[in-house]
Amino acid sequence: MILFKIAFRNLFRNIRRSIAILLTVGLGAGALFSFQGFIQGVLNDYRETTIHAYYGNGQLHQKEYRESVYKEPWKHWIADWSKIKSFALKNLNVQQVFPRISIGGMLMHDKVSIVGQGQGIDAQEEASFFSALNIIEGKNLETEENGVLLGKGVAKALGVHPGDEVTLYTKSIHGSISKGKLIVTGIFHTGNVDVDNHLFRIPLHLAQKLLKTDQVESIAFGLADFRNWESISLSLTKAFPSLEAASFAELDKVYYQNSVDWLKMQFYIVQIIIISIVLLGIFNTISSAILERKQEIGNLRANGESTWDVMKLILWEGAFLGIIGSVGGLFLTYVIAKGFLHQGILMPPGPGSSRQFFISFAFTPLMALQTFALSLISSLSASFFAGIRVAKMPITKSLRS
């Protein structure tokens, strides 16, 4: 207890030295914490965009449907989808259910035509969940019986705007040509070039009418929390053994999962570099401060204090500096990020994207704990290695320093 009090009072004996160490530890902890928050913000944005623009939290298909190519794919679609929807909505974690069907065809306006890949959707349900579609003209598809929502590239190629009429030609499951007159309700821009240049969305009942079927190809789900998907998918596949579930990460492996894996590895490398620089800075500052105190430590040894007593004093001082400095750095970083950068940082388009996006810092208690631990360990390590060198120095040599 006496060493504890002396170590604390020693912080105020040389205020300038203590402030220099605290600033080094605080800046190091703040740099690590802000970088981790930025990384998490990027990953969160990728996840939310994938969920709320394309796939929902996950989807159901017939077994092996996604991994196979069929000559007649409609024979492997889901027939009793309304029963599945009713079952899923009994789970409190399932907020919405979205039956879907793919419909390929040719869109025409005046004398211009383009081949596109469409989705038949429950428009009214999806309008409230798929907010990341980013409507840039008109409005989202909701209750319009013959409405169509076009990707930015599709609309540009056809030269259409909201209110214009387009004609969709497609082939039904029986091989006959179906034709539908559609009114453009809006134009969306996800930032994914492949999606924006080919995708269009029409009401589910209209797609089924054109394809001459009452089945759906897949069922997507909107959950209260994406972390609940695993338990929900298990209950669904257990109740309906002929179906298989896939999370949004599996469904979008190329654009989401591969991007996340690549970014994580890149961030780990950058993080190692930053951690090395920051920890070396803390180590150097504390070591220099201790080496300047050779005469003081020599006096302690001359007064009968053992090497271990001196080391305990130095380590207590290092612990105080590490705790105060890292807590201060974490607090200031959080205040700056949430108080002055709460709207996020505008980032240029990422790989495979054509749209700028805002990244907000996303902090978690685990991040703060990890950063605090690293800063504290660094302070204690620097104190130990510098302290043991001085504490073991001959007393006469220490006093002459």
Rounded CA separation 202/370 (Å): 48
The larger pLDDT score, comparing residue 107 to residue 22, is at 107
Q: Cα dist. 300→182, 232, 289 in Å?
A: 89, 66, 17
Q: Could you give the percent of the chain with pLDDT greater than 90?
A: 45
CB 190 within 8 A of CB 355: yes
Question: pLDDT tens, 250-277?
Answer: 888 767 777 778 878 877 887 788 777 7
Q: Could you give the percent of the chain with pLDDT greater than 70?
A: 97
pLDDT over 70 at 1, yes or no:
no
The larger pLDDT score, comparing residue 7 to residue 95, is at 95
Q: Encode burial over 21-42: b for 16+ CB neighbours within 10 A, e otherwise.
A: bbebbbbbbbbbbbbbbbbbbb
Stretch among 17-21, 127-131, 188-192, 202-206 having the lowest mean pLDDT: 17-21
pLDDT over 70 at 351, yes or no:
no
The larger pLDDT score, comparing residue 282 to residue 233, is at 233
CB < 8 Å & 24+ apart, contacts of 14-19: 17/289, 17/292, 18/321
pLDDT over 70 at 366, yes or no:
yes
Residue 93 is inside which H or E element, if any? none
Question: pLDDT tens, 368-388?
Answer: 999 999 888 888 888 888 777
Stretch among 104-108, 158-162, 291-295 having the lowest mean pLDDT: 291-295
Per-residue pLDDT averaged across 389-393, rounded? Answer: 75
Question: pLDDT tens, 17-75?
Answer: 788 888 888 888 898 899 889 888 888 888 888 899 889 999 999 998 988 888 889 99
Tokens (6 digits) for 324: 């105060």
Q: What are phi and psi of 371, to 5 degrees?
A: -65, -45
Domain chopping of the chain, boundaries: 2-50+257-400, 64-241
